[in-house]
Structure 1
Amino acid sequence: MSIQRIEPAARMSGAVVHGNTVYLAGQVGEGESVTDQCKDALAEVDRLLAAAGSNKSKILQTIIYLSDIAYFGEMNAVWESWVDPANPPARATSEAKLAAPKYKVEFIVTAAI
């Protein structure tokens, strides 16, 4: 079974397709607020899923890291307006120290193709 790497770079690929599954690298967004960062990161999720031949209705699992769990409600407001309500994925959310202090949220997505 072949492996397709989407937007490969020295450190990682933006997404990897194996069989009928696509694995996205963690997606963070730009902006000052959690809302702005969520919207930006989820737009990148949409873009990478499309590049792999998938879309948000086919997301199997999402892992969400917040730099502060106090952002949970704000993140959920964006998530709930973005996620396909007919096809919600399995999901986990946790507080974690992210790669840079400016990041407030990171989404890790696995989807079917």
Structure 2
Amino acid sequence: MSIKRIEQNSRLSEASQSGNLLILAGQVSSGANITEQAQGLFKNIDALLAKAGTDKSKVIYANIYLTDMANYEGFNKVWDEWVASDKGQVPSRAALQVVRLAKPEWLVEVQLFAAV
């Protein structure tokens, strides 16, 4: 079975597809607060899903990494607006607090798995 790479560089692929499974690398975004960062990373996710020929209604599972659980509710407000609940397609997920992300200004990172 072949593997398709999307937005690959010498270190990573933003997305990798094998068969009907698409795995996105952790997505982050700049912004002054959790709302701006979450909105930006979901915009990135939507673009990657589209490049793979799928969309948010096909998301199976998400890992959410927060640097501070005080941002959990703020993140959830953006998540709830983004997720395809209107289509009955709310994915499984986990939310974890981490010590920090690769850049100290990042507040949240989301990795997900989707069907193609």
- Give me the TM-score of the superposition, normalised by structure 2: 0.96
Structure 2 counterparts to residues 27-46 of structure 1, below 5 A = 27-46=27-46
Measured in 2, the distance between the counterparts of 1:69 and 1:99 equals 17
Measured in 2, the distance between the counterparts of 1:14 and 1:51 equals 11
Matching residue of 1:111: 114
Matching residue of 2:77: 77
Count of residues in Structure 1 that have an aligned counterpart in Structure 2: 113
Measured in 1, the distance between the counterparts of 2:96 and 2:70 equals 11
Structure 2 alignment gaps of length 5 or more = none
The reply on whether 1:90 has 2:92 as its aligned counterpart is: yes
Partner amino acid, structure 2, of 1:91: R
- Give me the TM-score of the superposition, normalised by structure 1: 0.98
Displacement after TM superposition at 1:34 (Å):
0.3
Displacement after TM superposition at 1:30 (Å):
1.1
Structure 1 alignment gaps of length 5 or more = none
Matching residue of 2:22: 22
Displacement after TM superposition at 1:31 (Å):
0.7
| Regions of 4+ moved over 6 Å | none
